[in-house]
Structure 1
Amino acid sequence: MDKETLYYFEKAPVTKAVVHFAVPMMLGTSMNVIYSILNAYFLGTLHNTAMLTALALTLPLFAIIMALGNLIGMGSGTFISRLLGEKKYHDVKHVSSFAFYSSLILGLIVMAVGLPLIDSIVRDLGATPDSFKFTKEYVTIMLIGSPFVVLFFTLENIVRSEGEAITSMIGMVLSVVVNILLDALVIFGFHWGVIGVASATVISNLVASLYYAFHMGYRSQFLTVSVKWFMVTKDILSNVLKIGIPVFIMCIFLGAMSLIFNHFLVEYGDQAVAAYGISSRLLQFPEFILMGLCEGVVPLIAFSFTANKLRLKKTIGFTFKSIVALAAVFGIIVYLISDHLIGLFTNDPQLIEMGSFILHVTYLSLFITGMTSLFTGIFQATAQGTAALIMSIIQGITLIPVLVIANQMNGFHGVVWSLVIADAVAFLVGAIMLFVLRNKLQPELDSLVQ
């Protein structure tokens, strides 16, 4: 950690520090959404609804692979930030080496387990006869490339935890640029369709992972990829898993919710699934901007939690105000041009109508999802494992019964509205737990003010 990074952790005005840590993450996550949208756009140019359906159906699988990366990455990353706040620099090397090799091993396990079961996986994802072939193609490539995808999500978190927000952003942007260039090449040049899009995603994650590994091995003062620092201890496992498991469960629930949601949508035809696939990717842009803000400040919150509680309080307050402002701006934009946004991907009138409706409804919960991301980030950064675990499961637990009831009562419209209801419940539960945490920390904050 250089002097400039330490300055932002310890001494910079809170507004300036939040901007330093969050803006690169917001830019990086928005770029990731852009290439997710472009994946759908490039396939959309082939005017094949079954391909778009396959892309939507594979979201749960990608969520699971991403979950494994976040299991190690978020757990190790928040631990590293706390260790830096305590100036335990020697331990950081052990944790970063553990994270690097553990993520590779997890990715290899996914590949070894998944490939023999690929037909069952594709059926469980909800593929229809029309979309089965394309879904299987995407799943096959993603399973083969899973070690690199897991590693990418792990290392992005590790690099950011050290305070290297710009380096983290460069890696994400590099992944996006490579993906976009390869998408254009494989779709328009090689005519590979779904296989090409999946291959582009895997290769782009590999390139970014190599960039992060180079930084950790040759530029970072504390992080390392050297196997000689690899160590598995009770302290490392407990601290990594305490936060990593709730993050993993949250990602799994997101994948499971997407899977369950797709199964309900299949009842209303491939157009409904494709419409959700398109609208959810458009929704990801503002959602990931807000998530980038919340995830970007996690290292600052974790560092401040062990080093400066008053700075912790100010950081959370400024982040809250930023979420409100961004949610309002994005909400206005989508309500003005939703039809035009969906029309970029398809000329099917039914798809445009369904996609526009989904956008209008799901954008109502944009502020809510932003706040739940902040709650979760606070609990992760402050090592509140139980609260983080509750946040991970509450939305999924709520969504399933709401989906069943809403589907019976109001059909397709009810299925879409169930997402907003589940988000609202998660927000209320998170707000209550944050209030409890605030009361726990208040005596210490009062003593600091005095």
Structure 2
Amino acid sequence: MSEASPTAKNAVFLTGSTMRHVIIMTTTSAIGLMSIFFVDAITLFYISQLGDPSQTAAVGRAAYVLAFIIGMSVGFMIGTSAMVARAVGAGRDEAAKSYAGTSIISVAIFGLLLAGLGFLLLDWLMDMLGATGEALDYARTYLYIVLPSTPFFAIGIVTMGILRAHGDAKRSMYITLVGGIMTALLDPFFIFVLGWEVVGAAVVSAIVRVSFAALGLYFVIGIHKAITVPKFRRYFKDLIDILKIAAPTVVTNLAAPVGAFLIARAVAEYGDAAVAGQSVVDRLIPLAFGVVFALSGAVGPIIGQNFGAMQMTRVRQALIDGLIFNCVYILIAWGLLFIAQEQIIAIYQAEGRMAIVIRLFCNVLAGSFLFNGMLFVSNAAFNNLGYPLLATLSNWARQTLGVIPFIYFGAMWAGLPGIIWGASIGAVIFGILPVIGAFWLIQRLTPDSKTPQETAETPETPEAAEATVS
């Protein structure tokens, strides 16, 4: 019998090298994911060229609010991707289309609710980040323009997950890559030529987010025909299935912006220059480590399809390959940041505490992403093996227990540098423990009555696979 189920003709991850799948999915997904953050990074760069620290800090503070929305949208995308990938892996194409349609409808409603919540909490969040005077006014203006585009952004992100679940990493990448190119071209015109400054940056961000939805829907509907609009009763059944993974995954993904918010709040005690430096760091992180962030979304469908076909040997190998890829990439990226730190400082015209924060990132904090990457890969396993609550617990432990005490005592020990050192040290323990848990879970889900090889050669029926997941 062949390794893959004959009905799972679209399940491209059931055969071939798992490392090859990891590399292709991660690199293409990373380009797409990095393009999302490139939109914010290039905007901050152009704003910094105005020479007004209050505008730079304002865009930085606004981004912390938008980070919550990004985290929630990506969480819903992961839930959608997991369910679609499982259905594809089990050869249930109609179910995969129904899940995709349900997710698009749901995330549009979800995006509207997120935008409304953002407006309600805006002033409170800005106060928490120490925004006053012009910096507060600029941040408000920016968010008033960008927040209404949230539903379009959320739809675009979910279509990326649907495409990846079908193995189309290339078109998934195109969605945000086009957005990054649009930002690079439109920002200078709106910010400098029209002289709109922060308003211009916000208008461009809103336009780009709408483009995410338009292009994503074209790919999944026009190219793949991967969506059907479910009937009323089926919609709620699908939504419950998706939310079993998406809800805890959204909660999981909220941990990262919460951790970033806590660090930013601590840094804000040292003034707008320090906040501006941290804002630059928060843009450099996804650009430098977007590949690592992409690991979770890229490894997930590989694990999901093979788990749907009950090929547990390949599930285990996908996890191992993801960890190896993470280690090699982090060491290279860290070295490049260390070498380029003075050039980065010059590009953003950083001085004083702003420059100190950037140097600490290049020298210290960047190295801690070796352990953050371990956490991301482990979360992909937890989510796609049907245990998303383990990913939730791991992420929140990292961003609370691994942040609050470390930055608190770090600040007491060495002030501003101590905050960065503390955040770095906290990553170590909370990166290693989830990896141990992921391997334990795979072993637990491997049937005792068969060897891993026998399991790979004799995949269970889709119904049996679903029973195992539930």
TM-score, normalization: structure 1? 0.92
Q: Which residue of 2 aligns with 1:296?
A: 298
Instruction: State how far apart, in whole Å, the 2-side matches of 1:298 and 1:120 are.
Output: 36
Q: Which moved more, 1:317-326 or 1:439-448?
A: 439-448
Instruction: Report Cα offsets for 1:111-169 as digits up to 9, x if no partner.
Output: 33443554344324431324111111112122222211222222222222222111101
Which residue of 240, 246, 249 maps to 1:247? 249
Q: Which residue of 2 aligns with 1:217?
A: 221
Is 1:275–2:277 an aligned residue pair?
yes
Instruction: State how far apart, in whole Å, the 2-side matches of 1:202 and 1:229 are.
Output: 32
What is the deviation of 1:257?
Answer: 2.1
Instruction: State how far apart, in whole Å, the 2-side matches of 1:334 and 1:71 are.
Output: 29
Q: Which residue of 2 aligns with 1:141?
A: 145
> Secondary structure of 1:297's match?
helix
- The answer to whether the 8 A contact 1:31-1:172 is kept is yes
Amino acid at match of 1:40: L
> Secondary structure of 1:96's match?
helix
Instruction: State how far apart, in whole Å, the 2-side matches of 1:270 and 1:67 are.
Output: 25
- 1:356-435 → structure 2 map (5 Å cutoff): 356-398=359-401, 399-435=403-439
When residues 4 and 199 of structure 1 are mapped into structure 2, their CA distance, relative to the original with a 3 A threshold, is farther
Q: Which residue of 1 aligns with 2:207?
A: 203
Instruction: State how far apart, in whole Å, the 2-side matches of 1:314 and 1:182 are.
Output: 43
- The answer to whether the 8 A contact 2:108-2:155 is kept is yes
- The answer to whether the 8 A contact 2:10-2:88 is kept is no
Is 1:326–2:329 an aligned residue pair?
yes
Is 1:18–2:22 an aligned residue pair?
yes
Instruction: State how far apart, in whole Å, the 2-side matches of 1:385 and 1:242 are.
Output: 8
Amino acid at match of 2:27: V
Amino acid at match of 2:30: M
- The answer to whether the 8 A contact 2:108-2:152 is kept is yes
What is the deviation of 1:326?
Answer: 0.8
Is 1:64–2:76 an aligned residue pair?
no
Instruction: Report Cα offsets for 1:308-342 as digits up to 9, x if no partner.
Output: 22222222222222111111111111112212112
Which residue of 344, 348, 352 maps to 1:345? 348
Q: Which residue of 2 aligns with 1:6?
A: 10
TM-score, normalization: structure 2? 0.88
Q: Which residue of 1 aligns with 2:127?
A: 123
Amino acid at match of 1:437: L
Instruction: State how far apart, in whole Å, the 1-side matches of 2:408 and 2:106 are.
Output: 38
Instruction: State how far apart, in whole Å, the 2-side matches of 1:210 and 1:181 are.
Output: 19
Instruction: Report Cα offsets for 1:82-134 as digits up to 9, x if no partner.
Output: 11111122212221111111111112223334435543443244313241111
Amino acid at match of 1:264: A
Instruction: State how far apart, in whole Å, the 2-side matches of 1:354 and 1:312 are.
Output: 40
What is the deviation of 1:48?
Answer: 1.0
Instruction: State how far apart, in whole Å, the 2-side matches of 1:60 and 1:445 are.
Output: 50
> Secondary structure of 1:6's match?
coil
Amino acid at match of 1:329: I
- The answer to whether the 8 A contact 1:59-1:255 is kept is no
Q: Which residue of 1 aligns with 2:235?
A: 232
- 1:63-212 → structure 2 map (5 Å cutoff): 63-115=67-119, 118-212=122-216
What is the deviation of 1:190?
Answer: 1.3
What is the deviation of 1:350?
Answer: 4.2
Instruction: State how far apart, in whole Å, the 2-side matches of 1:401 and 1:420 are.
Output: 12
Instruction: State how far apart, in whole Å, the 1-side matches of 2:158 and 2:195 are.
Output: 32
When residues 32 and 445 of structure 1 are mapped into structure 2, their CA distance, relative to the original with a 3 A threshold, is farther
Instruction: State how far apart, in whole Å, the 2-side matches of 1:439 and 1:7 are.
Output: 23
Amino acid at match of 2:76: I
Instruction: State how far apart, in whole Å, the 1-side matches of 2:46 and 2:363 are.
Output: 24
- The answer to whether the 8 A contact 1:372-1:430 is kept is yes
> Secondary structure of 2:132's match?
coil
Is 1:36–2:40 an aligned residue pair?
yes
Amino acid at match of 1:313: R
Q: Which residue of 1 aligns with 2:442?
A: 438
Instruction: Report Cα offsets for 1:237-286 as digits up to 9, x if no partner.
Output: 34322321232123322222222222211111111111111122222223
Runs of 4+ in 1 over 6 A off after TM superposition: none
Q: Which residue of 1 aligns with 2:467?
A: none
- The answer to whether the 8 A contact 1:126-1:262 is kept is no
Instruction: State how far apart, in whole Å, the 1-side matches of 2:166 and 2:154 are.
Output: 19
Amino acid at match of 1:332: G
Q: Which moved more, 1:59-68 or 1:170-179?
A: 59-68
The two structures, once aligned, show a CA RMSD in angstroms of 2.4
What is the deviation of 1:173?
Answer: 0.7
Percent of pairs with identical residues? 19
> Secondary structure of 2:415's match?
helix
Amino acid at match of 1:135: A
What is the deviation of 1:45?
Answer: 1.0
